[in-house]
Structure 1
Amino acid sequence: MDTGPLISFLAVDLLLVCVPGADWAYVIAAGVRGRSVTRAVAGLMTGYALHTALAVAGLAVLVAGSPALLTALTAAGAGYLIRLAWSVLRRPAAVPTGDAGEAAAPEGFWRGAAISGLNPKALLLYLSVLPQFLVTRGDHPPIALQTAVLGALHMACCTAVYLTVGTLARRLLAARPRAARAVTHTSGAAMLGIGALLLAQHAL
Structure 2
Amino acid sequence: MDSGLLLSFLAVDLLLVCVPGADWAYVIAAGLRGRSVTVAVAGLLTGYALHTALATAGLAVLVAGSPRLLTALTVVGAGYLVWLGWGVLRRPAAPGAAGDLAAGPGRVFARGATISGLNPKGLLLYLSVLPQFLTLRGAHLPVPAQTAALGVLHMACCGTVYLAVGTLSRTLLSTRPSAARAVTRTSGAAMLGIGAFLLVERLATL
The within-5 A match list for 1:185-204 is: 185-204=185-204
Question: In the alignment, which residue of structure 2 is the partner of 1:113?
Answer: 113
Q: Tell whether the 8 Å contact from 2:33 to 2:95 is kept in structure 1 after alignment.
A: yes
Query: Displacement, 1:117?
Result: 0.9
Q: Is the 8 A contact 2:25 2:187 kept in 1?
A: yes
Q: Which range moves more in the overlay, 127-136 or 44-53?
A: 127-136
Query: Which blocks of at least 5 consecutive residues in structure 2 are unaligned?
Result: none
Q: Give the distance between the partners of 2:93 and 2:129, measured in 1 at CA.
A: 38
Q: 1:184 — aligned with what?
A: 184
1:48-79: CA deviation from partner (whole Å, max 9, x where unpaired): 11111111111111112222212221222122
Count of residues in correspondence between the two structures: 201
Once the two structures are superposed, what CA deviation does each residue of 1:149-197 show, in whole Å capped at 9, x if it has no partner? 1110011011101111111111100011111122222222222222212
CA distance in 1 between partners of 2:35 and 2:89 (Å):
16
Alignment of 1:54 onto 2:54: yes
Return the offset for 1:103: 4.0
Contact 1:95 1:173 in 2 (8 A): yes
Q: Percent identity?
A: 75
133 and 75 in structure 1: CA distance in 2 versus 1, 3 angstrom threshold: closer
Whether the 8 Å CA contact 1:37–1:167 is kept in 2: the answer is yes
TM-score when scaled to structure 1? 0.88
Output the amino acid matched with 2:72.
A
Q: 1:141 matched to which residue of 2? A: 141
The secondary structure found in structure 2 opposite 1:129 is helix
Deviates more, 1:160-169 or 1:18-27: 18-27
For the structure 1 residues 139 and 119, does the alpha-carbon distance in structure 2 shift closer, same or farther, using more than 3 Å as the test?
closer
In the alignment, structure 1 residue 96 sits paired with structure 2 residue 116: no
* Mapped partners of 1:111, 1:24: distance in 2: 13
Residue 36 of structure 1 contacts residue 102 of structure 1 at CA under 8 Å; is this kept in 2? no
Instruction: Tell me which amino acid in the other structure corresponds to 2:20.
Output: P
In 1, distance between residues paired with 2:109 and 2:66?
29
Whether contact under 8 Å (1:70, 1:120) holds in the other structure is no
Partner of 2:21: 21
- Are the aligned partners of 2:21 and 2:187 in contact in 1 as well (CA < 8 Å)? no
Give the deviation of 1:120 after TM superposition.
3.1
When the two structures are superposed, what TM-score results if normalisation uses the length of structure 2?
0.87
Gaps of 5+ in 1: none
Distance 1:194 1:104, change over 3 A: farther
1:131 Cα offset (Å): 2.0
Whether the aligned pair in 1 keeps the contact of 2:27 and 2:40 (CA below 8 Å) is yes
Cα deviation for residue 118 of structure 1 reads 1.2
Alignment check: 8 A CA contact 1:52 1:147 kept:
yes
**2:44 is matched by which residue type in structure 1?**
L
